[in-house]
Amino acid sequence: MISNSPEAEKLKELGNEQFKLSNFPKAIELYTAAVEKAAGNQRLVCLSNRAFAHIKMENYGLAIIDADEILKEDSGFIKAYYRKGSAYLLLGKFDDARKEFKRADTLTSGKDADIQAKLKQIKQAIYEREFAKSIERPDESSEPIDINDIFVEQGYDGPRIDKDISEVTPEWCENLMNHYKDQKKLHKKYAVMILQKVGEILKSQQNVVEYDVPKDLEFTVCGDTHGQFFDLLNIFKINGNPSVKRPYLFNGDFVDRGSWSVEVMMTLFAWKVCNPDIMHLTRGNHESRNMNKLYGFEGEVKHKYDDKVYELFQTVFNYLPLAYTLSKQVMVVHGGLFSNDGVTISELQKLNRFREIPEGGPMADMLWSDPIKQNGRHPSKRGISISFGPDIAHKFLNENGLSLLVRSHEMKDQGYEVEADGRVITIFSAPNYCDQMKNKGAFIIFKGGEMKPKFIQFDAVEHPKLPPMAYARNYGMFM
């Protein structure tokens, strides 16, 4: 019998303490040190704890790798199947998740209530997925909604559109934000009108929108906002509302996690309808049906509106551009770069983006990949797409005549990170992510003619007492 290492045990306990404080990166560091010093079952426990911390960090691919390493040594380690199943579940890979939870269920002789509940939830999710496929429209669009059939109650006191969409002015958008700030809802009729119009605008845009920033104009790029509406308001308070002199680009992941995703999305869409040139939007990996089912947006829309409005959101998400180039110098994309060399902007313009996000290929890479410090391409820590090194970034940028890649997709303690010799920037605009990560938010200002990034950091602001993922299904998100 292999005896436990006191040093490894101490490191594991320190990791547990950091885990309880939601300092998951530090917990992972301590668990890794413990794994290196432990042996036997003690090592497997440390790997399991690290897998749990990876799940908290949304590093689902790394959690699966840890679970597989455990199972190589002990095929009866129940928590390894649980961790692996959880990672697949949170990726929306329900069939793979069911397989892992079934193995755990067999090992517990069907007596673990939590595992049984997970299997029941997965069964329902698979049923809903197959039902949705059976009624799917061939053109990926939602069933049309006739606004003339929607009655506005006499007591409604929010922003109105009495005649046509041209009434959505800057003043209208400001009224909408104040209405939301008072925790009131935009009437369904006007929400549908905004969604229908913004869908028309977005559908007409290129996959990679080519935008020239006028000389001396300040162009603001924001990262993930994830339903943190009150932090979005703070961005506008710090930097000014969208205007001809101060346009914005929000780089995907507007929804999920935070419990005001409808308010974030409708605010950004309203500004886009107000003037398409002052609000620019790209798609993130969370603008998708699978993610929305798991992380709260589906439940939120159906709570605040109904199934038809949710389907309209999904149609609009499929119209969102995949990336921007700014003044032929900067590429802005939610995730990152590609599984293969030789990808060009002109080739990206030919992709069919009017669809759900696929599990592989260039479109998936654009929304899911991440930079890594080591050169080359590596398996994704998330379990989808790849991680790409500085050499990959340099090669892509040089071949496409670009100087800088701006991407989002990852929480950063300071709200941003610069790597690859200054040629790759991650920007993240959801401070104190999920009310627990204690990170700053940040955005970038580019001045036309110079196109040098200027970083503005900000802290989280108070919000009403509604927890993150208040509308999410109980898939055990914080397992």
Catalytic residues: 286
Tell me the C-alpha to C-alpha distance, in Å, between residue 443 and each of 74, 109, 230, 233, 357.
46, 51, 16, 13, 26
Closest of 267, 219, 273 to residue 247, by C-alpha: 219
Q: What is the DSSP letter of 235?
A: H
What three-state secondary structure class fits 160?
A: coil
- Diameter of the chain by CA atoms? 79
What three-state secondary structure class fits 287?
A: coil
Closest of 76, 80, 78 to residue 48, by C-alpha: 80
Distant-in-sequence, close-in-space partners of 266: CB < 8 Å, separation ≥ 6 = 176, 180, 186, 191, 194
Torsion of CA 176, 250, 441, 372, to 10 degrees: 160
Measured distance CA(377)–CA(96) in Å, rounded: 25
End-to-end CA distance of the chain: 31
Residue carrying the six token digits 């104009």? 217
Q: What is the DSSP letter of 39?
A: -
Torsion of CA 267, 228, 118, 43, to 10 degrees: 140
| Bridging pattern class, strands 386-388 and 404-407 | unpaired
DSSP secondary structure letters along 269-282: HHHHHH-TTTEEEE
Closest of 310, 49, 312, 89 to residue 202, by C-alpha: 312
| Bridging pattern class, strands 404-407 and 453-458 | unpaired
Please return the burial class of 14, using the count of CB atoms within 10 Å of its CB with bins 0-12, 13-18 and 19+: middle
What three-state secondary structure class fits 208?
A: strand
Residue 85, token pair as written in the block: 């199943």
Measured distance CA(159)–CA(21) in Å, rounded: 42
